[in-house]
Chains A and B, each alone.
Chain A
Amino acid sequence: MNPEFESAISAFAGSAALISLFVILAMIGTLNPYHRPAIPVLGATAVILASAYLFAHTAGIAADSVALRLTMSEGVLALIDILPLVFLVSTYLFLRASLRKRPEDPLLVLLDSE
């Protein structure tokens, strides 16, 4: 397979698997009595397993725990690669926030009008 294409598929599978892992971890971190986590956890797990299978198929290795680790590692590297893009957008938003004038708070106006 073309190495560029293989690298792109690895980044796709890795980022999908890692974000799904983050979704599961975020649900653990924010667990509360009103949570219904079963279906989202099942969905995220399915994405992780499918991504690991896709990665293993592309790399020509067995779809086992090593493939899962490689997929997740590829996900971390892919996300680190796009962090500068995220920082670029954030810098623009910070610039807008720094230059704007603070608007009157509609909640206070609402309270004062009562």
Chain B
Amino acid sequence: MSLWAAQMWLGLSVAVIGISMHRTGPAFRRHPFGAPVALLGLAVMLFRIEEPPQPESGVVTAAIGAAMWLLPALAGSALVLRGAPLYWKTRPAPLLAGWTLIAVAWYQYYSVMSLVPLDALRWVSTLLGVLLSLTVFMLCVRTAERTTPQEPETERLSEKERKYVESVLRRHLEVADEP
């Protein structure tokens, strides 16, 4: 495998590790290194001095082509999630900006898409492949959990711990803390 092919796979791996890191921790305080590691991975994957060999160059070309509609789609999705009444009250500005970007993403996709009937067969096959992989993973996790010895039941929270948990919940659900 050439150096440039290895760089592409290394970049993809680092990006996926970064995204996974970002998902750890509570929703209000994600892992601080997740996003930088993911961006570093994308940079390693996409910026190179020489053209990588096949099949990696095909992958990079397809990824750059998809980015034309995927970037506005991701930005729009993030803005809609911030603006929609999921965790907070409705915030019209990000909601409107998000839907505009989603519309742009669909327009971009519509302007470059070229679907043929064979695509449907590939989609079904892809979904079956994803399903197989996730099913094997779930079965492995279940096996690992079954073979792990059970720990004794944890003790009840003390009064101090209970007050702390209550204060965290109140703070992050946007309710003023009790004095």
Indicate whether A23 reaches chain B with its CB closer than 8 angstroms.
Answer: yes
- The answer to whether B19 touches A29, judged by C-beta atoms less than 8 angstroms apart, is yes
- Cβ of B109: which chain A residues have Cβ within 8 Å of it? 84, 87
- The answer to whether B63 touches A80, judged by C-beta atoms less than 8 angstroms apart, is yes
- The answer to whether A30 touches B123, judged by C-beta atoms less than 8 angstroms apart, is no
Indicate whether B7 reaches chain A with its CB closer than 8 angstroms.
Answer: no
Known interface pairs A16-B130, A77-B59, A97-B86; A36-B144 also in contact (CB < 8 Å) = yes
Report how far A56 CA is from B105 CA in the complex, Å: 36
Partner of B141, one of A14, A15, A40, A94: A40
Known interface pairs A76-B59, A90-B77; A47-B133 also in contact (CB < 8 Å) = yes
The 0/1 profile, CB within 8 Å of B marked 1, for residues 29-42 of chain A is: 11010001011101
Partner of A70, one of B55, B70, B99, B122: B55
Partner of A30, one of B13, B23, B85, B119: B23
Report how far A9 CA is from B125 CA in the complex, Å: 7
* Centre residue among B1, B122, B170 by max chain A CB count within 10 A: B122
- The answer to whether A77 touches B62, judged by C-beta atoms less than 8 angstroms apart, is yes
- The answer to whether B55 touches A73, judged by C-beta atoms less than 8 angstroms apart, is yes
Partner of A11, one of B58, B102, B125: B125
Known interface pairs A29-B20, A77-B58, A108-B175; A47-B136 also in contact (CB < 8 Å) = yes
Indicate whether A113 reaches chain B with its CB closer than 8 angstroms.
Answer: no
Near A by CB (< 8 A), chain B positions 71-118 give 73, 77, 80-81, 83-86, 88-90, 95, 98-99, 102, 105-106, 109, 113, 118
Majority secondary structure of chain A interface residues (helix, strand, loop or mixed): helix
Near B by CB (< 8 A), chain A positions 42-67 give 42-44, 46-47, 51, 65
- The answer to whether A7 touches B139, judged by C-beta atoms less than 8 angstroms apart, is no
- Cβ of A76: which chain B residues have Cβ within 8 Å of it? 12, 59, 62-63
The 0/1 profile, CB within 8 Å of B marked 1, for residues 71-100 of chain A is: 011111111111111010011001001101
27 contacts between A and B (CB under 8 A): A11-B126, A11-B129, A12-B128, A14-B129, A15-B126, A15-B129, A15-B133, A19-B129, A29-B18, A29-B24, A29-B34, A32-B24, A39-B143, A44-B137, A65-B1, A69-B5, A74-B55, A76-B63, A80-B62, A81-B122, A85-B123, A87-B109, A90-B77, A97-B84, A98-B95, A98-B99, A102-B85
Report how far A60 CA is from B122 CA in the complex, Å: 20
